[in-house]
């Protein structure tokens, strides 16, 4: 929070902050650990999913008490990576259908009821999952109502041309913006 305050004070224009979760608490996950290949227990609409959605609101509440607001949150950082990550990485695995249902039944309504004007971003994973992921989530009118945009990462961009992923998605869902939210170099050890 002190670093965010310093950055906000130094900026000549307002900074738009977004947050993205890596994992839920171990007791909420199918594998009983914050690390590894677990999903949220149960299914959308149940006590685990409602509680996880409320964690987002409590997070936003606590930062707001310290005069830090978030422009957006993502539903999950790299939800498909949760199926492939090393066992020590903190993560929650979601399929597109699971993310759609969590957004439509839990996270979207929780954000809408909250006092926060925080936008919701979906996917937050490699763009190779587009446009499929967008069709599943935004193809549902209830989920689409809560989603402002799509968050994408660049790590596997060489596999799929932008026209097949970004452009195709934009043509299907022009009212939802596309935003690169994560990128770095050196993630492949052989480079």
Alpha-carbon gap, residue 71 to 23, rounded angstroms: 20
Q: In this structure, how many other beta carbons lie within 10 angstroms of the beta carbon of residue 136?
A: 19
| Given 78, 101, 106, 124, the catalytic residue | 78
| Given 33, 157, 167, 182, the catalytic residue | 182
Between the alpha carbon of residue 90 and those of residues 35, 71, 100, 182, the distances in Å are 4, 24, 21, 17
Does residue 182 carry a catalytic annotation? yes
Task: Give the position of tokens 């066992």.
Answer: 87
Contact, 22 vs 75, CB < 8 A?
A: no
126 forms bridges with which residues in the sheet?
153
Does residue 167 carry a catalytic annotation? no
Is the Cα dihedral 69, 100, 106, 76 positive or negative? Answer: negative
Residues annotated as catalytic are 78, 182
């Amino acid at each position: 929070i002190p670093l965010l305050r310093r950055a906000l004070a130094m900026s000549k224009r307002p900074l738009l902050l977004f947050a993205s979760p890596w994992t839920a608490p171990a007791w909420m996950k199918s594998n009983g650990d914050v690390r590894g290949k677990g999903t949220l227990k149960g299914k959308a609409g149940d006590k685990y999913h409602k509680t996880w959605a409320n964690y987002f609101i409590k997070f936003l509440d606590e930062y707001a008490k310290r005069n830090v607001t978030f422009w957006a949150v993502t539903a999950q950082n790299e939800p498909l990576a949760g199926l492939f990550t090393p066992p020590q990485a903190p993560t929650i695995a979601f399929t597109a259908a699971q993310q759609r249902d969590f957004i439509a039944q839990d996270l979207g309504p929780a954000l809408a009821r909250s006092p926060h004007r925080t936008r919701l971003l979906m996917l937050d994973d490699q763009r190779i999952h587009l446009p499929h992921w967008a069709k599943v989530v935004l193809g549902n009118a209830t989920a689409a109502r809560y989603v402002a945009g799509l968050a994408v990462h660049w790590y596997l961009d060489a596999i799929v041309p932008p026209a097949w992923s970004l452009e195709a998605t934009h043509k299907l869902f022009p009212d939802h913006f596309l935003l690169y939210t994560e990128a770095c170099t050196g993630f492949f050890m052989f480079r």
